[in-house]
Structure 1
Amino acid sequence: MIYILFAILCGISNVLSRSVNFVLSKKIGMYQSTLFNYIFGLSGSFLLLLISGETFKLLASSSYGAPWFVYAGGLLGVVVVTMLSFLSSKVSSFYLTLLLFVGQLFTGIIIDALSTGKISFYQVIGGALVVLGLTYNLYIDKINSKTVSA
């Protein structure tokens, strides 16, 4: 039950974060809001590192033995945050959340395939069903918006 609660709280914080980033990008600019997002994220992460007592591991050479693409996560994060700030004005929060979920799902499938050499048939089918549901919902919304405006 606690994991379900964590998942719900993460989803809420994700939508709130996107909304705050969108408003901030309207006030000071998209790139500046992304910079502030990362400054505060880095500060929070550093604070958690200090609280956890794991700072001694930063000096261990074994801490840096990950493959090169793991270190590209920060750059990818900057791209995602900037893109979401841009898209927030063009796509509803509901659809943006669904698109983010589908992107994370398929990225997870790709990472699993690269790391294990196996592709989960059920994950691919689940992702395809979510994409089909999203497409159908967009189609229904488009039809309803035409009948309301006509």
Structure 2
Amino acid sequence: MLAVLFGVMAGAIMPFQTSVNNRLRQSVGAPLLASFISFVVGTFSLIIATWITSGQPYPSLGNTSDEPWWIFTGGMLGVVLLTGNILLFPRVGSVQTVILPITGQILMGLIIDSFGVAYAPQTPLTLVRILGALAVLFGALAVVGVFSKTTTGQGQAQGASVWLWRLLGVVMGMCQATQVAVNGYLGTVLGSAIESALVSFTVGTTVLFVLLVLTRTKWRGINGAGEKNPWWMWLGGVIGATVIFSTAYLGPVIGTGVTVVVMLLGMMLASLLIDIFGFLGSPRRRIHLAQLIGLLVIIAGVALIRI
């Protein structure tokens, strides 16, 4: 039960990371550059954490020599999700950008648990777990407001091409669930979830650096927002490092599928609180009854999947 609560708390900080990184993006101008800075900060914070916990500022990779190559792909999977969000948002709108990856996460989480993908703990796929997953998806639809507002907008993709972008959204979510399993197994091999997170962030930082070089993204300073930069805009990497550590720790303990849905519960709960109180400069928004009902449905779905 404590692991489940920890997963909810880990999910709850994810929307704050979005707000923090968005503020950083406003200052530096380029989304990829903001992501790279966030990853660099996260990598250095994990180096310090590794140094404190193991006595050395780098992971012990000796036990990985006989392991499959894919144990190092967690960071690349994270970059797929990050870059996918940048590409998806202007083409399908904000609601679908949230819902499509959630669909992929839930689907892939159940597949991973059912077949033990990436050496994840196996949990039989039962009717109760399927109903729980459907409840989580339905609740998420309600929380993001799909039942109270439209999902189309100016400039979004139309016709057959929009389905390719929607497919990308689902694949992004599947990558995120796979990242949980991969980093969880890497943490088991290394004997440390912190070191697993450090490897993941180092790989992600390297990939983002390559993308910056290929796209020729230029540094424009940190005054793009035209106002004083708050100190907390640099904390996105620390939050991200905490989330990746949490997934590496929780995956082998409660399973990939449960990790995905309990973190989703925390994410949805925190998103509503951010809308209500306008944390970190976010605009305050009115919360509808359907969103509160959706949150309760998510909680019921998590309970079914956990059972």
TM range (shorter): 0.7 to 0.9
Equivalent residue, structure 1, for 2:223: 62
Question: Which of the two has greater helix per residue?
Answer: 1
Instruction: Indicate the structure whose relative CO is greater, using CA pairs within 8 Å and at least 6 residues apart.
Output: 2
Shift of 1:48: 1.2
Q: For the structure 1 residues 133 and 74, does the alpha-carbon distance in structure 2 shift closer, same or farther, using more than 3 Å as the test?
A: same
Preserved contact between residue 184 and residue 248 of structure 2 (Cα < 8 Å): yes
**Alignment correspondent of 2:235:** 72
TM-score by length of 2: 0.40
User: What CA deviation, in whole Å up to 9, does each residue of 1:17-75 have, x standing for no partner?
Assistant: 11110010000121211110110011011111111211333xx2425864222210111
Amino acid at match of 1:93: T
CA distance 1:63–1:45, change in 2 (3 Å): farther
Q: Aligned pairs, how many?
A: 139
Once residues 178 and 201 of structure 2 are traced to their aligned partners in structure 1, the CA distance between those partners, rounded to angstroms, is 16
Moved more, 112-121 or 42-51: 112-121
Could you say what the CA RMSD is over the residues aligned between the two structures, in angstroms? 2.6
What is residue 166 of structure 2 aligned with on the other side?
A: 4
Higher deviation after alignment, 100-109 or 89-98: 100-109
Cα separation, partners in 2 of 1:54 and 1:14, compared to 1, 3 Å? same
Shift of 1:81: 0.9
Measure the CA separation in 2 of the matches of 1:66 and 1:3: 34
TM-score (norm 1): 0.75
Structure 2: which 5+ residue stretches go unaligned?
A: 1-161
Deviations 1:78-99 (A, max 9, x none): 1111111111123232232222
Q: What amino acid does structure 2 have at the position aligned with 1:18?
A: V
Residue 35, structure 1, aligned to residue 201, structure 2:
no
2:253 counterpart SS class: coil
The percent of aligned pairs where both chains have the same amino acid is: 16
- For the residues of structure 2 that align with 1:106 and 1:135, how far apart are their CA atoms? 10
Assess if the C-alpha contact under 8 Å between 2:262 and 2:302 holds in 1. no
CA distance in 2, matches of 1:116, 1:31: 31
Q: Which residue of 1 aligns with 2:298?
A: 134
